[in-house]
């Protein structure tokens, strides 16, 4: 646990955020090179739609098991060494993907990556370590900006590389970026003071968080967000191939367009959050996701596809940082690590279920049902958001969970 984490934040919160942003940016570029490729890479080895969903899900399933252990390890020995360990696992997993000559090797690469996956969760814990509560929405948005830029550049590059050089090329380029990320972490990222680290104990924290009304509502919001988003992203390539006969290159362009919208939204999220508050921002985000994702059911041409993608991308970009901030401000500062750890576990669980449901629906030919379920899941998040308590103010003390 931490001793006065907020007091330690100002001393370490300048350059470290730039360092962690650059590290996450390179990691996300590597991720987004793989995301639009996987359905087509798997289908190249005669995978079914359900097997494609399982390929996405196995990463999150491994992360669900390994994530708590990595979080506890980072509390004990520091964020930086565990981040380096996690990045090394990503590098090995990508090299296996690049060398794959059968479907089982694709699964092996994803399992290796998932078993060591802690890059983004440790980066989020690092940000929490070094920032004050009032700055966290803007700081968490750094990860969103990295995702926005990564989705803008990575998917388009993946499509071009796959078309020009084959399905092996994007994972190998991603492996090169992963090696660069390891170098950036080794050179630029420094551990915050030990007193600023926020302990993560997910198993014992889960029950306490779910018994507290405000944290429970925000955790349910994050679960709904992750299920909806993962179902959308894992099935989008298969959907576009079935509905519009798109190949990996054109799917990459759609992901890139989504990243552009998301990046623009993340750029202004700090000012919008200060003006309207995270609660209203989260409700708007869920509504936009629901409308955008469900509208894909009627996307039979490019203009409708782009409009639905833009609305959904806008919602997805603002929802997670807003809800994450609401979660951390709904508990005592000493419970931040517990709250973030539990949220990561629930997110991983949702990211197992989302791709599997996408694979089942698309495999059964329920293309419209896939889009409508993604939209309905976001709508469920909106319902959870409407039941959440208002954000804690300086005059109120958040509930202690320990």
CA distance 88 to 313: 30
- Residue pair 188/69 in contact (Cβ under 8 Å)? The answer is no
395 Cβ partners below 8 Å, 6+ apart?
none
Residue 38 has pLDDT above 60, yes or no: yes
What's the pLDDT at 47? Answer: 95
- % of the chain surpassing 90 pLDDT: 45
What are the structural domains of the chain? 7-184+205-387 (1.20.1250.20)
Average pLDDT over residues 5-13: 38
Ranges 15-24, 202-211, 360-369: which has the least confidence: 202-211
Ranges 97-111, 151-165, 218-232, 386-400: which has the least confidence: 386-400
More confident residue, 393 or 322: 322
19 Cβ partners below 8 Å, 6+ apart?
184, 188, 189, 190
- Residue pair 400/205 in contact (Cβ under 8 Å)? The answer is no
Per the document, the length of the chain is 402
Ranges 127-131, 200-204, 245-249, 301-305: which has the least confidence: 200-204
What's the pLDDT at 1? Answer: 34
What's the pLDDT at 118? Answer: 66
In terms of C-beta density within 10 A (0-12 exposed, 13-18 middle, 19 or more buried), how is residue 18 classed?
Answer: exposed
What's the pLDDT at 335? Answer: 67
Ranges 199-203, 248-252, 258-262: which has the least confidence: 199-203
What's the pLDDT at 320? Answer: 87
* Lookup result for tokens 């103010």: 393
What's the pLDDT at 137? Answer: 64
- Residue pair 48/55 in contact (Cβ under 8 Å)? The answer is no
Query: Euclidean distance between the first and final Cα of the chain, in Å?
Result: 11
More confident residue, 286 or 334: 286
Average pLDDT over residues 43-54: 95
pLDDT-based confidence at 86, cuts 50/70/90? confident
Average pLDDT over residues 325-346: 77
Residue 355 has pLDDT above 90, yes or no: yes
Ranges 13-22, 80-89, 239-248, 385-394: which has the least confidence: 385-394
Average pLDDT over residues 6-19: 50
What's the pLDDT at 220? Answer: 93
Whole-number average pLDDT of the chain? 82
Average pLDDT over residues 259-282: 79
Average pLDDT over residues 47-70: 88
Ranges 30-44, 49-63, 264-278, 357-371: which has the least confidence: 264-278
Average pLDDT over residues 133-159: 77
3-class DSSP state of 395:
coil
- % of the chain surpassing 70 pLDDT: 82
């Amino acid at each position: 646990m931490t001793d006065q984490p907020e007091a330690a934040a100002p001393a370490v919160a300048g350059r470290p955020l730039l360092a962690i942003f650059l590290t996450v940016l390179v990691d996300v570029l590597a991720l987004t090179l793989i995301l639009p490729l996987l359905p087509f890479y798997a289908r190249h080895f005669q995978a079914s739609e359900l097997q494609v969903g399982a390929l996405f899900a196995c990463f999150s399933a491994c992360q669900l098991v390994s994530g708590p252990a990595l979080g506890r390890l980072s509390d004990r020995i520091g964020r930086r060494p565990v981040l380096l360990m996690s990045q090394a696992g990503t590098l090995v997993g990508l090299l296996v993907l690049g060398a794959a000559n059968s479907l089982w090797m694709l699964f092996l690469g994803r399992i290796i990556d998932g078993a060591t996956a802690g890059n983004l969760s440790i980066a989020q814990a690092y940000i929490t370590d070094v920032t004050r509560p009032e700055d966290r929405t803007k700081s968490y948005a750094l990860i969103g900006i990295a995702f926005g830029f990564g989705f803008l550049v990575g998917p388009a590059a993946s499509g071009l590389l796959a078309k020009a050089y084959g399905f092996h090329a994007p994972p190998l380029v991603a492996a090169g970026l992963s090696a660069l990320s390891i170098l950036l972490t080794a050179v630029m990222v420094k551990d915050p003071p030990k007193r600023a680290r926020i302990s993560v104990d997910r198993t014992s924290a889960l029950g306490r968080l779910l018994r507290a009304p405000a944290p429970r509502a925000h955790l349910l919001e994050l679960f709904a967000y992750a299920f909806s988003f993962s179902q959308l992203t894992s099935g989008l390539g298969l959907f576009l191939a079935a509905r519009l006969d798109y190949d990996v290159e054109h799917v990459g362009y759609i992901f890139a367009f989504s990243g552009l919208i998301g990046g623009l939204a993340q750029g202004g999220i700090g000012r919008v959050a200060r003006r309207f508050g995270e609660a209203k921002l989260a409700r708007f985000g869920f509504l936009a996701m629901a409308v955008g994702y469900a509208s894909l059911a009627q996307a039979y041409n490019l203009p409708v596809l782009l409009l639905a993608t833009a609305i959904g991308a806008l919602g997805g970009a603002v929802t997670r940082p807003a809800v994450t901030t609401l979660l951390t401000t709904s508990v005592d500062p000493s419970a931040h690590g517990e709250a973030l750890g539990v949220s990561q576990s629930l997110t991983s669980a949702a990211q197992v279920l989302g791709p599997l449901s996408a694979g089942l629906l698309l495999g059964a030919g329920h293309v419209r049902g896939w889009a409508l379920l993604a939209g309905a899941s976001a709508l469920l998040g909106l319902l959870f958001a409407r039941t959440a308590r208002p954000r804690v103010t300086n005059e109120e003390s958040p509930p202690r969970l320990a």
